[in-house]
Amino acid sequence: MNGAARTLVISPNWIGDAVMAQPLLQQLKSRHPGRPIDVLSPPSVAPVWRAMAEVDGVFDTPFRHGALQLKERWRFGRQLRARGYVDAYVLPNTLKYALIPWFAAIARRVGYKGEMRYGLLNVMHHDDMPPRAMVPFYAALAQDPALPLAAVPRPRLRAGSDQIAAVCANTGIAPDRPLVVFAPGAEFGAAKRWPAAHFAELAKAIIAADPRAQVALLGSPKDRQACDEVIAGSGSAGVFNLAGATKLDEAIALIARADAVVANDSGLLHIASALNRPVVALYGPTDPDHAPPFSDVARSVSLRLACSPCRQRECPLGHHDCMNKMSAQLVWTELRPIIGV
């Protein structure tokens, strides 16, 4: 057995949630500075954890999405026993993830009640109050469940200068010209997406104000079509469609290089915030108070219509007014003073 006591954190399945769990790790590291922290994470989220200074090791979850795989979880838990974990923080609310530290015989197993996980967790938190912002929701796991929540630090990621330079060279982003990053995607559903035509209009405004400016569109392969529409609508050589062309660790590096980021309520928005980049965050069906950006320079744009936030993947009324009626001019009014043009 490894002689050093270690902490295990089991990651949420969403990029934004992983970012917003980072202050929990800050608190754990502050409490036990010499105790290594390992994270068990879906492969799609792992680069976010590797961008956190507090994390010593990241292990990819070997399980299929949604599958119980009881025997496989038992075997994996038995393997973890040898690493000397003294505590585990289970961030997903599902029963199947709480099984892993129980199978690993980790003495202290912390998390929310979730799917009635009595016995599997032995430090049980409850979330019976109205929905909390995600950062304090996760940060509360660092303290006794009976105590009121203490002050919470903001999320914090890092990217190395060599990594940033390499990604810029590989993607054709000039290091000596202004860079604005757009994140037109949103994994949760179409309702979160600001229209591609609006992004295109905003890109035209940026480059008209500063012809040296570059606009990089980031996202997953499924965002490629929407980003192609932005390119077509902007008609500018200074707009780069990098959706699906960059891995998440490369996207993190490009965001770290950006002079500003304009994003839907998405994982890339929260990455930009944790890198302390200036952000303009676009909220339609979601609540800007639930998962706000934490950058020193941050603007949250929401029309706050009577029908929002509905928190639905698709607009239940069919008109998508919360995003369609958020004009490019409104967003440009927020962005322009940030980039100083």
272-300 pLDDT, tens per residue?
Answer: 999 999 999 999 998 888 888 999 999 99
pLDDT at 4: 82
Cβ pair 95, 114 in contact under 8 A: yes
Between 262 and 2, the more confident residue is: 262
CATH topology of 6-142 equal to that of 161-339?
Answer: yes
Fill in the DSSP letter of residue 313: S
Q: Where do the structural domains in the chain lie, given as residue ranges?
A: 6-142, 161-339
Token pair belonging to 201: 């209009």
CATH fold for domain 6-142: Rossmann fold (3.40.50)
- Report the amino acid identity of residue 8: L
Q: What is the pLDDT of residues 54-106, one digit of tens each?
A: 999 999 998 877 778 899 999 999 999 999 999 999 999 999 999 999 999 99
pLDDT at 181 over 60: yes
Whether residue 129 is predicted with pLDDT greater than 80 in this model: the reply is no
- Torsion sign, CA atoms 31, 37, 43, 46: positive
The class level of CATH for 161-339 reads alpha beta
User: Measured between alpha carbons, how far is residue 50 from residues 5, 22, 53, 201, 255 in Å?
Assistant: 20, 11, 8, 35, 15
Q: How far apart are CA 29 and CA 35, in angstroms?
A: 7
How much of the chain exceeds pLDDT 90, in percent? 82
pLDDT of residue 3: 58
User: pLDDT-based confidence at 1, cuts 50/70/90?
Assistant: very low
Mean pLDDT value across the chain: 93
